[in-house]
Amino acid sequence: MDNTVIPMSEGAKCSCGASVVGIFPCAGASNVGQLSNAVAVELHKQGVGNMMCTVGIGGKINGLLKSAEGCGSIIVIDGCPLNCAQATMEEAGIPIGKHILLTDMDIKKNKDLDLDPAQVKEVLSKVTELL
């Protein structure tokens, strides 16, 4: 995992060229929630898609909703079977192209919020295989 800073100038993706892939992690308050966020950050850095604000969808923030609607496809990453991110997108009527559940990868949910970089790398690899 590198520590590349995403420059502000890349904060909004121009839709000229390939269609935009939106990545929405649950970013919940558990190890798997934080893993979903870390994996989304890495996928964004790798150019797989654009990480977006899942909580803004729940909050019905117009610009964020419209940004999600403007995506060519949507990847949702949930940490646990509560599937909050999936439910949030469904509630907003935003179609999900690919849904990934991290506890399906033999990871037990707990309240440890300190991520192990090796585990992030391993999960990132598994998620990438699923995309």
Partner 1 sequence: MNIMKIEILGSGCAKCNKTKKFVEQAVEQTGVDAEIVKVEDMDGILAYGVLITPAVVVDGDVKIVGRVPKVDEVIEWITQ
Binding footprint of partner 1 on the chain (CB under 8 A): 8-9, 11-16, 20, 22, 50, 52-53, 56, 61-64, 66-67, 69-71
76 phi/psi in degrees, rounded to 5: -115, 130
Find the shortest distance in angstroms from Cβ 53 to partner 1. Answer: 7
Nearer to partner 1, 38 or 57 (CB): 57
Residue 64 or 120 having the CB closest to partner 1: 64
Min dist CB 68 to partner 1, Å, is 8
CA distance linking residue 10 with residue 30, whole number of Å: 29
Nearer to partner 1, 9 or 110 (CB): 9
CA-closest candidate to residue 102, choices 45, 32, 42, 49:
32
Q: Tell me the CB-side half-sphere exposure of residue 104, using CA atoms within 13 A.
A: 12
Least distance between partner 1 and beta carbon 95 (Å): 15
Q: Which is nearer to partner 1, 19 or 110 (CB)?
A: 19
> How many Å separate Cα 61 from the centre of its chain?
18
Q: How far is the CB of 17 from partner 1 (least distance, A)?
A: 9
| Residue 117 burial (10 A CB sphere; 0-12, 13-18, 19+) | exposed
CA distance linking residue 81 with residue 100, whole number of Å: 10
